[in-house]
Chain A
Amino acid sequence: MSNKDNIMEIIIRHLNDEASAEMQSELQQWLEEDPSHQREFDELKLLWNDAANAALHPFDTKKAWQKINDRISLPNETKVIRLFPWKKAIAIAASFLIIVSVYYFYTRDSKTEWKEITALGSNKSIQLSDGSVITLRKASKLRIPDNYGKDSRRVQLEGEAYFQVHHEEKNPFYLTTTKSVIQDIGTAFLMESNDSVEQVMVTEGKISFSGKADKENKLTLEAGEAAILKMQKPELKIVKSKNSLAWKTNILVFDNAALTQVAEDLKDYFNVNFQFSKNLQPTRILVTAQFRNEPLSKVIEELNLFTGLSFRLNDNIIFVSK
């Protein structure tokens, strides 16, 4: 073996901390022989170290650890994802409503008589004298004054309803809830008002939306926009799901939606809970599907086909696993 190859081998060993004492002294000798040797050695060492850095790619260790740690410290039980406590919210809203309405009926102007419509077991459609149609979601309440349309058009809502308002420029339509006021500017919109959320989504035309306490602070919303009331102030909201109206249309559309979003929409529509097994990453599973007035069993069957996952319904909870 030539001397040159030999020294390279020693350098390679030295760089990896594997050189024997004998090799070390040989290297030392070689380095002292000639200043160019030292330069050459420094050059190789720089390359050695820089190559280690260059070979690394940016990966987020911290984030990955959180994920791993979640997976290894979870007990064998699966995790319940409570997306939206619908039943609870309704219950709270209902009791709240009773208090508010009792208070309201005792204190309001006695001249106007209000008719109260409650959608009990199913959604209810109401056509008003001006041609406007209001679809009340199950368990929601609408109040309409006897003199509706005479010199004003005002209704009150508790719960969720879809409004298709006949536009009259000189006689605007007002919707009030316990917390907010909506004035239509020729429109169709979805209003959800309960104890936990106060939100509106416009599907056609325009509305103005404001908190009851501060009616000057109005937000004008156009078709496709949604807003929520936060601390009595209207705030634009990003519409995450196209399925807000599914309860009325009975159509659920998922276009590359994450399984978590699908679960959220199905939960709202069918009033079921979802439980994902711990080895799933439901945000990464994308679903493209359309359901038209299909029963839950059918929806589950189709999801199973699309995703290859198992969906088991038990006591109003759907268990999702591999």
Chain B
Amino acid sequence: MNSSKDSIHENFRIFFDQHYQRLCSYAFSFLKDEESCEDIVQDIFIKIWENRQDLIGSDQLKFYMFSAVRNNCLTKIQKNKKYREIEMDPDMETGEIINKPDPEEAIAEPGVLIAKALDLLPPKCREIFLLSRISNLSYKQIADNLELSVKTVENQMSKALKILRIFARENKIYFLIAFCVIGVKYFDPHIGVFIEKLFY
């Protein structure tokens, strides 16, 4: 029809291609039900097309979409209490949830093991870390999205990485780590109490 309409459609398609799986995966971190995730994400895409074509092609769209997915998922959880609720408590004790490795699982792929490790993160830490890794949004955008300070986001990101690192070492996910376990002992006091339990 007209070329500007076509280019909006093309931008929309490209954005969809790049972000659909990410947005659904983000929804999945709340809902654990693939069908609901796809419904929510698709409805938001339709709404964007129908009401907010001005966002298509702008940098804001990604930020907007991830916020919308989060809000819709939280609304859905509110409505439907049968889904597991995500608790937002940054100070939750994490030490005891780091499990000893199962020898059979140790041979699994890093990806599978890390997916497991992600589930072990404290809820708030997990939400921040997952959003960052799924969306590649800036820390500022993540902070705005979750109504937190940038500092909190960065702290939680560090915390998540440290916990994942302990898990990776415990499970010997990466070969190179096997050589430096003893050498990194001096890190431990900065990481937290549970590190001492594991390493000393």
Contacts and interface: CB of A to CB of B under 8 A. Distances in A.
Given A48-B161, A54-B114, A68 B42 contact: yes
A51 interface: yes
Contacts of A110: none
A56 B114 contact: no
B38 A2 contact: no
Given A12-B161, A51-B164, A57-B24, A43 B176 contact: yes
A107 interface: no
Among A2, A43, A48, chain B packs the most CB atoms within 10 A around the CB of A43
Contact of A72 (B38, B46, B161): B46
B56 to A, nearest CB: 11
A: contact size bracket: 35 or more
Contacts of A39: 176, 179-180
Given A36-B180, A56-B134, A43 B165 contact: yes
Contact of B28 (A8, A51, A52, A57): A57
B154 A71 contact: no
A51 to B, nearest CB: 5
Interface in A77-95: none
A151 interface: no
A85 B42 CA distance: 33
A32 interface: no
Interface string B29-52: 100001001100110011001100
A55 B49 CA distance: 27
Interface in B12-28: 12-13, 16-17, 20-22, 24-25, 28
A64 interface: yes
Interface string A12-49: 11001010000000000000000010011011101110
A9 B158 contact: yes
Contact of A64 (B42, B154, B157, B174): B42
A8 B160 CA distance: 12
B: contact size bracket: 35 or more
Interface stretch (B59-67, B72-80, B95-103, B183-191): B183-191
Contacts of B179: 39
B92 interface: no
Given A55-B29, A61-B21, A50 B13 contact: no
A2 B190 contact: yes
B16 A51 contact: no
Interface in B77-132: 110-112, 114-115, 117-118, 129-130, 132
Contacts of B154: 9, 12-13
A260 B28 CA distance: 29
Contacts of B114: 47, 50-51, 54
A4 B42 contact: no
A12 B155 CA distance: 9
Contacts of A48: 133, 161
Nearest to B133: A52
A106 interface: no
B139 interface: yes
Given A47-B168, A52-B133, A61-B20, A67 B42 contact: yes
A57 B16 contact: no
Contacts of A40: 180, 184
A40 B34 CA distance: 36
A57 B161 contact: no
A57 B45 contact: no
A5 interface: yes
B176 A42 contact: yes
Contacts of B16: 61, 64-65, 68
Interface of B: 9, 12-13, 16-17, 20-22, 24-25, 28-29, 34, 37-38, 41-42, 45-46, 49-50, 110-112, 114-115, 117-118, 129-130, 132-134, 136, 138-139, 154, 157-158, 161-162, 164-165, 168, 174, 176-177, 179-180, 183-184, 187, 190
Q: Which 3 A-B pairs have the closest CB atoms?
A: A54-B115, A59-B24, A54-B114
Given A12-B157, A54-B114, A54-B117, 9 more contacts: A43-B168, A48-B161, A50-B114, A51-B129, A52-B133, A57-B21, A57-B25, A59-B24, A59-B38
13 contacts: A5-B190, A8-B161, A9-B154, A12-B158, A13-B139, A16-B157, A39-B179, A43-B174, A50-B110, A55-B130, A55-B133, A59-B38, A61-B21
Interface of A: 2, 4-5, 8-9, 12-13, 16, 18, 36, 39-40, 42-44, 46-48, 50-59, 61, 64-65, 67-69, 71-72
